[in-house]
Amino acid sequence: MGTARPGPSVTSRALAILGAIDERHPRQTLSELSERAGLPLSTTHRLVAELVAWGALERDADGRYVVGRRLWQLGTLAPVHRGLREIAVAPMQDLYAVTHENVHLAVRSDVAALYVERIYGASSVALVSRPGAKLPLHATGVGKVLLAHAPTDVIDRVLSNLTSVTRYTITESGRMARELAAIRRLGYAGTSEEMTLGTCSVAVPIRDDAGEVVASLGLVTRTVRRDLAKFVPALNVAAAAITRGLREEAAADAFRSTE
């Protein structure tokens, strides 16, 4: 480990450059990458050239660096995207065909709702969520479902930090705790302008074969909150189809591993 440049730190420098690109900074100049990665310009230049050669980064028409096609293709192989998403898309599509509302699929990623897939059409409301985006658990329908079924320590951490997104976001921990209990009892969660003014949401849990809540399926709509419950049966039919798909995949996996 006494060599001039130990391997680990070089890898972490390359990863620091990739990490400098995020949702709010999807296009970066070389000097922006250098600054955000905390690396000298010369090091950044050299590592960026390697990342471009491999296809992890590309240059756009303005010469700024963006995520490359090869990295995107590799990302599509992630199980979070592939297994659940591929099973869920057809039931989500059916739900969209019936409701014509935005249909979402999210999983919990620590204290955030990570949006895995979204189906929407020209008549659906405009949204902040998109695949790959993370939104607060306490302000979204899918997030509340995931929070209601999260381990106690996650619930505690979220309840101790209920930030306000709109003036309707629930920021009082006692009220949110009671709402989470109601979500577990009723089997669905609703929001009313808690994430975005003018939109409401309704969501149900998706369980795996063992009954664990592994994801949440939700609709975002302009419908007022008191009418949201009408969507619950349709959501539950689609959620059941996804659970069935996960069970079949688990059975196929078990079969493969005994081959």
Please, what is the end-to-end C-alpha distance for the chain in angstroms? Answer: 43
Instruction: Tally Cβ neighbours within 10 Å of residue 38.
Output: 10
Contact 126, 116 (CB under 8 A): no
Compute how many residues bind a copy of itself; rule: CB under 8 A. Answer: 64
d(CA 137, CA 156): 12
CA quadruple 101, 107, 113, 117: dihedral sign: negative
Nearer Cβ to a copy of itself, position 72 or 175? 72
Residue 26, helix vs strand vs coil:
coil
Residue 63's identity, in one-letter code, is G
Does 84 engage in binding with a copy of itself (CB under 8 A)?
A: no
Question: Quick one: which segment of 66-74, 136-144, 193-201, 228-236 binds a copy of itself (CB under 8 A)?
Answer: 66-74
d(CA 7, CA 222): 53
d(CA 117, CA 97): 16
Tokens of 259: 């081959």
Nearer Cβ to a copy of itself, position 127 or 170? 127
Q: Which of residues 128-187 bind a copy of itself (CB under 8 A)?
A: 130-132, 134
Does 73 engage in binding with a copy of itself (CB under 8 A)?
A: yes
Which one, of 207, 209, 205, lies nearest residue 250 by Cα? Answer: 209
Tokens of 213: 């809540």
Nearer Cβ to a copy of itself, position 56 or 162? 56
Question: Quick one: which segment of 113-121, 146-154, 159-167, 204-212 binds a copy of itself (CB under 8 A)?
Answer: 113-121
Contact 122, 112 (CB under 8 A): no
Residue 59 beta carbon to a copy of itself: minimum distance, rounded to whole angstroms:
11
Residue 183 beta carbon to a copy of itself: minimum distance, rounded to whole angstroms:
25
Q: Which of residues 26-55 bind a copy of itself (CB under 8 A)?
A: 26, 43, 46-47, 50-51, 54
Tokens of 192: 């009313």
Among 41, 78, 177, 251, binds a copy of itself (CB under 8 A): 78
Question: Quick one: which segment of 68-76, 143-151, 185-193, 209-217 binds a copy of itself (CB under 8 A)?
Answer: 68-76
Task: Catalog residues that contact a copy of itself under the rule CB under 8 A.
Answer: 3-8, 10-15, 18-19, 21-23, 26, 43, 46-47, 50-51, 54, 56, 58, 60, 62, 66-69, 71-82, 86, 89-91, 93-94, 96-97, 109, 114, 119-122, 124, 130-132, 134, 257
